[in-house]
Structure 1
Amino acid sequence: MSALDERVNALRSAIEAAGDVLDPAVAGPAEATFAHAKERLELSAEHTVVALVGSTGSGKSSLFNRLSGLELAEVGYLRPTTSTPLACAWGPAGATELLDWIGVARRDQIARRSILDAPRDDAFEGLVLLDLPDHDSVVQENHDVVDHVARYADLFVWVLDPQKYADAAIHEHYLAPLATHKDASLVVLNQADRLSDTDLKIAVDDLEQILEREGFGGVPVIATSAVTGAGLPELRAEIGRRISSKRASQARLVADVRQVAQRLAEVGGVEPVPGLDRPTRDALVETFVACAGVPQIADAVEDSMARRAVVATDWPLIGWVGRLRHDPLRELGFGRSARDAVAGTMPISPSVQRARADLALREATEAATEGMSRPWRASVIHAVVGEETRAVIDELDEAVAGVDLGLKHRPLWWTAVAALQWLTMIAVVVGGAWCAASVFGLVDPDPWSGAPRPLGMSLPLMAVALGLLFAIALTLVSRWLGGVAARRAGARAEKALTEAINRTTERIVVARLRHEIDRYERWCSGLATAVR
């Protein structure tokens, strides 16, 4: 894969990851760059378009004539003489289609090989040399022509002169904005014959410092003279080297992609973000647990299980009293969530709990996206906390309502204790009836002669006493066991509810936030590849 393909694919990946985060006015230039690169490579990969760009009086037209070996461009020093781009193409095939695409009129296109059977110049084979209008022309149309044709050049030769090489017009309008195109640039300090050797060195050193500040460090600076021919061999050799490498057109297109990527990075940002760390995630789950009423539900489960244990294991004659106590979960299973069933016992109303959960979700999202640019952050927050995600609390309620709290489970020991309680009641009832009957002389208190009388009590009375004592002991033990079991049931319910909320948070919050951050990271990675 070529450097251009790699950068184009990376830039496409970044734009696709951004989606609707980017304003169309910002994303549009990137799409135009893709189309431009495709058209340029389809038209001609064998030609290298070299544009001479300079100000009035810089001598670029004279330089154009010396490079082409023909007096094609009109030369002037006091006013602009070039109003339309002039092209000279080397090679038998010419570059008509390419020049038509650039916008050079047919009358201004010269095929170098056809002029008087000029000798072949292998070093310039495939060169398309453009002489552009002066960039500082007083004629606005000339400015427009330069700006237009500059979009199509594979290699810029910036022609400066000793008097105006630091002119802000070319540095601010062209060089500084095209710092990303330094690999597709050469800088020529023309009219070197007007300076002494010492002054020329000072001017070149000063120009190199200016270029360094503008991001053009390392770009070759060649001192030339169209009059004496000084520096022209070096300039021809450098242009020839760019042509022979066949990389000039790709270097220019790579620079275009880099420039667009830098612009996108400035608008969309590429700062790293912390993501949703474990403490923030755990704090969010804790807030959801509180807002879903998990502690109140667990308490209600404990209270309900304790009540059911009392009803199931109390002495039958008094067990009905437990049924009169309020069961906080009595309405579960009738279309209401567990949180709604205990809403009356919660310290904060459900609407306030919902707002609290929404705020916690927003704060967690903002913490995870710290450092994102405003467009990206707004997009992520909207995706995670926006109107379409208001169902987060409803999802949590459904998760809570779907948890099996174990309320239908009836421990076996309840049945055993209940059987024993019925036996004690039978003993008390039978013994009591026997005692009453013996008072009226209906039966003998002693079932047989010599029957034992523990503690001086008859057997019927002993049955009543022992039955009551055993029932009291059994009730106390079962109450204690019921409390222990109820607390364990409450703890199990709280754990199950917390796990359900944890899973729901992972599914509808963390996964969505992770997806959005992954999009942002693909954006950053794509731009980093496109810019490098």
Structure 2
Amino acid sequence: MSALDERVTALKSAIEAAGDVIDPALAGPAEATFTHAQERLDLSTQHTVVVLAGSTGSGKSSLFNRLAGLELAEVGYLRPTTSTALACAWGPAGATELLDWIGVARRDQITRRSVLDAPRDDAFEGLVLLDLPDHDSVVAANQEVVDHVARYADLFVWVLDPQKYADAAIHARYITPLATHADASLVVLNQADRLSDTDLKMAMDDLEQILEREGFAGVPVIATSAVTGAGLPELRAEIGRRIKSKRASQARLVGDVRQVARRLAETGGVEPVPGLERPVRDALVETFVACAGVPQIADAVEDSMARRAVVATDWPLIGWVGRLRHDPLRELGFGRSARDAVADTMPISPSVQRARADLALREATEVATEGMSRPWRASVIDAIVGEGARDVIDELDEAVAGVDLGLKRQPLWWTAVGALQWFTFLAVIAGAGWAVASIFGLVEPDPWEGAPRPLGLSLPLLLVAGGLLFGVILTLVSRWLGGVGARRAGARAEKKLIEAINRTTERIVVARLRSELDRYDRWRNGLATAGR
């Protein structure tokens, strides 16, 4: 892949990643650059378009005449006005289609058919040399011609003169904005014959410093004289080298892509962003946990399991009383969410929870996108918390609703203890009935003659006392065990709920934000590649 292809691909990737974030007025020039590059390469890769541009009096036309090897006075009728560009093409095939595309009128096109010329100029084979009107002409049309033709140049030769080489007009309007095209530029200090050797060196040093400040460090600067011919061999050799390399046109188009990329970077921003760092993500999850009512649900699960343990393991009469107590989680599965079931115990209303979750999500997104330009940041925030995203609380409710809180579990020891409690209850009832019947003489208090009476109690009373004592002890032990089990059930439920909220946060926030940040990274990396 060529440098141009790599940059065009990178710039396209950046623009595709940006989507609607970038103003069409900014994306439009990029699309035009793609089209321009493709048209230029389709027309000709064998020609190099070199333009001579400069101020009034810089000697462009004389320099053009010396490079072309033609006496323009003899062919001056081909250039009826000074508001048009004059072109000279080397090579038997000419460059008519290319010059037509550039917009140079046929009457202003001159062809050097090297096969007929003597001597043949092989070094310039494929050269298309254009002499532009003065950019600082009082005629506005001249500036328009310069601006138009400059868009098509493969190589800029900036022709400056000793008096106005630092003139702000050409530097501010053309040279500085084209710093991205330094690889497609040459600078000529013409009319060097007017300066002494000392003054020429000072002028060259000063000009090089100016160019370095403008981003043209390393660009060849050649001192020439169209009168004496000084510097012309060096200029011809540099132009010939660019022609021979066949890279001038690509260098220019690379500069175009680089220029567009840098403008997009300036307006769209390419600053790195922190992303959703772990502490911020954890703080967000904590807020979601609170807004989803996880602590209250865990407490309710603990309370519910403790009540169920009491009902299942208490002495039957006490257990029946426990069934009458309200259990909010008992109604789950009948159209109510766990959060709704415990809403009355939550410290803030559902509407406030919803607003709090949205605010926390917005704040986390703002932290994650700190450094982004305003359009990018607004786009990312809208994608995460805007109208396009589902309500966070609704997502969290769905996640919580899908968690098995373990309310249907009934430990085996509950059944065993419940059976023992019923056994003690029946023993007390049997003993009490036996004792009452013996009082009325219906039965004997002793089942046989000489039956033992521990602690002086008959067997019926022993059944009543023993049953009550065993039931109390069993109740106390089972309540303690039930409390331990309930706390464990609450902790398990809380852990499951937090895991569900973590997964939901990963899905509705982290994954979505990561996708947006990946899009921003494609934008940044694309512009970095295209603009380097």
TM-score when normalising by structure 2: 0.98
Query: 1:380: which partner in 2?
Result: 380
Query: 1:269: which partner in 2?
Result: 269
Q: 1:74 to 1:292 in 2, by over 3 A?
A: farther
Instruction: Work out the CA distance in 2 between the residues paired with 1:364 and 1:71.
Output: 73
Query: 2:525: which partner in 1?
Result: 525
Query: 2:87: which partner in 1?
Result: 87
Greater CA deviation, 313-322 or 170-179? Answer: 313-322
Q: Is contact 2:92–2:115 with CA below 8 Å preserved after alignment? A: no
- Aligned-pair distance for 1:383? 0.7
- Aligned-pair distance for 1:313? 1.0
Q: Is contact 1:157–1:186 with CA below 8 Å preserved after alignment? A: yes
SS in 2 for 1:178: helix
- Aligned-pair distance for 1:115? 10
Query: 2:15: which partner in 1?
Result: 15
Query: 1:485: which partner in 2?
Result: 485
Instruction: Work out the CA distance in 2 between the residues paired with 1:496 and 1:253.
Output: 59
SS in 1 for 2:52: strand
Greater CA deviation, 387-396 or 421-430? Answer: 387-396
Instruction: Work out the CA distance in 2 between the residues paired with 1:381 and 1:74.
Output: 69
Q: Is contact 1:181–1:256 with CA below 8 Å preserved after alignment? A: yes
Amino acid in structure 2 at the alignment position of 1:229: G
Q: 1:66 to 1:25 in 2, by over 3 A?
A: same
Instruction: Work out the CA distance in 2 between the residues paired with 1:508 and 1:477.
Output: 46
Identity of aligned residues (%): 87
Query: 2:330: which partner in 1?
Result: 330
- Aligned-pair distance for 1:394? 0.6
Q: Is contact 1:112–1:118 with CA below 8 Å preserved after alignment? A: no
Query: 1:433: which partner in 2?
Result: 433
Instruction: Work out the CA distance in 2 between the residues paired with 1:431 and 1:340.
Output: 48
Q: Within 5 Å, which residues of 2 pair with 1:466-477?
A: 466-477=466-477
Q: Is contact 2:189–2:221 with CA below 8 Å preserved after alignment? A: yes
Q: Is contact 2:114–2:121 with CA below 8 Å preserved after alignment? A: no
SS in 2 for 1:136: coil
Query: 2:218: which partner in 1?
Result: 218
SS in 2 for 1:207: helix
Query: 1:26: which partner in 2?
Result: 26
Determine if the alignment matches structure 1 residue 368 to structure 2 residue 380. Answer: no
- Aligned-pair distance for 1:387? 1.4
SS in 2 for 1:389: coil
Instruction: Work out the CA distance in 2 between the residues paired with 1:75 and 1:398.
Output: 85
Q: Within 5 Å, which residues of 2 pair with 1:198-209?
A: 198-209=198-209
Determine if the alignment matches structure 1 residue 400 to structure 2 residue 400. Answer: yes
Greater CA deviation, 277-286 or 111-120? Answer: 111-120
SS in 1 for 2:152: coil
- Residue by residue over 1:395-433, the C-alpha shift from the partner in whole angstroms, topping out at 9 and shown as x without a partner, is 110000110001111111111111001100111001000
Gaps of 5+ in 2: none
- Aligned-pair distance for 1:528? 1.0
Determine if the alignment matches structure 1 residue 109 to structure 2 residue 109. Answer: yes
Query: 1:415: which partner in 2?
Result: 415
Q: Is contact 1:61–1:73 with CA below 8 Å preserved after alignment? A: no
Q: Within 5 Å, which residues of 2 pair with 1:439-454?
A: 439-454=439-454
- Aligned-pair distance for 1:75? 12
Q: Which runs of 4+ in 1 moved over 2 A?
A: 72-76, 114-119
Q: Is contact 2:91–2:112 with CA below 8 Å preserved after alignment? A: yes
Amino acid in structure 2 at the alignment position of 1:434: W
Q: Is contact 1:159–1:188 with CA below 8 Å preserved after alignment? A: yes
Q: Is contact 1:435–1:445 with CA below 8 Å preserved after alignment? A: yes
Instruction: Work out the CA distance in 2 between the residues paired with 1:436 and 1:356.
Output: 67
- Aligned-pair distance for 1:393? 1.6
Query: 1:160: which partner in 2?
Result: 160
Q: Is contact 2:179–2:215 with CA below 8 Å preserved after alignment? A: yes
Greater CA deviation, 316-325 or 222-231? Answer: 316-325
- Aligned-pair distance for 1:350? 0.6
Query: 2:248: which partner in 1?
Result: 248
SS in 2 for 1:417: helix
Q: Is contact 1:403–1:496 with CA below 8 Å preserved after alignment? A: yes
Amino acid in structure 1 at the alignment position of 2:14: A
Q: Is contact 1:399–1:500 with CA below 8 Å preserved after alignment? A: yes
SS in 2 for 1:89: strand
Instruction: Work out the CA distance in 2 between the residues paired with 1:74 and 1:52.
Output: 21
Instruction: Work out the CA distance in 2 between the residues paired with 1:173 and 1:529.
Output: 26
Amino acid in structure 1 at the alignment position of 2:125: E
Greater CA deviation, 44-53 or 209-218? Answer: 209-218
Q: Is contact 1:8–1:34 with CA below 8 Å preserved after alignment? A: yes
- Aligned-pair distance for 1:20? 1.1
Query: 2:66: which partner in 1?
Result: 66
Instruction: Work out the CA distance in 2 between the residues paired with 1:72 and 1:497.
Output: 88
Query: 2:55: which partner in 1?
Result: 55
TM-score when normalising by structure 1: 0.98
- Aligned-pair distance for 1:82? 2.4
Instruction: Work out the CA distance in 1 between the residues paired with 2:479 and 2:233.
Output: 107
- Residue by residue over 1:99-118, the C-alpha shift from the partner in whole angstroms, topping out at 9 and shown as x without a partner, is 00000001111111179744
Determine if the alignment matches structure 1 residue 290 to structure 2 residue 255. Answer: no
- Aligned-pair distance for 1:391? 2.1
Gaps of 5+ in 1: none
Q: 1:262 to 1:155 in 2, by over 3 A?
A: same
Instruction: Work out the CA distance in 2 between the residues paired with 1:291 and 1:499.
Output: 15
Q: 1:115 to 1:72 in 2, by over 3 A?
A: farther
Amino acid in structure 2 at the alignment position of 1:242: R
Instruction: Work out the CA distance in 2 between the residues paired with 1:95 and 1:194.
Output: 36
Amino acid in structure 1 at the alignment position of 2:363: E
- Residue by residue over 1:110-150, the C-alpha shift from the partner in whole angstroms, topping out at 9 and shown as x without a partner, is 11117974431000000000001110011111111100000
Instruction: Work out the CA distance in 2 between the residues paired with 1:73 and 1:251.
Output: 34
Amino acid in structure 2 at the alignment position of 1:225: S
Q: Is contact 1:64–1:73 with CA below 8 Å preserved after alignment? A: no
Q: Is contact 2:91–2:114 with CA below 8 Å preserved after alignment? A: no
The root-mean-square deviation of aligned C-alpha atoms, in Å, is 1.5
SS in 2 for 1:225: coil
- Aligned-pair distance for 1:272? 1.0
Instruction: Work out the CA distance in 2 between the residues paired with 1:388 and 1:487.
Output: 41
- Aligned-pair distance for 1:318? 2.1
Q: Is contact 2:90–2:114 with CA below 8 Å preserved after alignment? A: no
Instruction: Work out the CA distance in 2 between the residues paired with 1:411 and 1:180.
Output: 77
Amino acid in structure 2 at the alignment position of 1:334: F
Query: 1:319: which partner in 2?
Result: 319
Q: 1:442 to 1:230 in 2, by over 3 A?
A: same
- Aligned-pair distance for 1:337? 1.0
- Residue by residue over 1:149-196, the C-alpha shift from the partner in whole angstroms, topping out at 9 and shown as x without a partner, is 000000000001111111111000000100010100000111111111
- Residue by residue over 1:336-380, the C-alpha shift from the partner in whole angstroms, topping out at 9 and shown as x without a partner, is 111111111100001101111111111111111111111111111
Q: 1:468 to 1:406 in 2, by over 3 A?
A: same
Query: 1:126: which partner in 2?
Result: 126
Q: Is contact 2:157–2:187 with CA below 8 Å preserved after alignment? A: yes
- Residue by residue over 1:296-331, the C-alpha shift from the partner in whole angstroms, topping out at 9 and shown as x without a partner, is 000000001111111111111221111121102122
Amino acid in structure 2 at the alignment position of 1:431: G
Determine if the alignment matches structure 1 residue 96 to structure 2 residue 92. Answer: no
SS in 2 for 1:188: strand
Instruction: Work out the CA distance in 2 between the residues paired with 1:317 and 1:500.
Output: 40
- Aligned-pair distance for 1:72? 2.6
- Aligned-pair distance for 1:73? 6.8
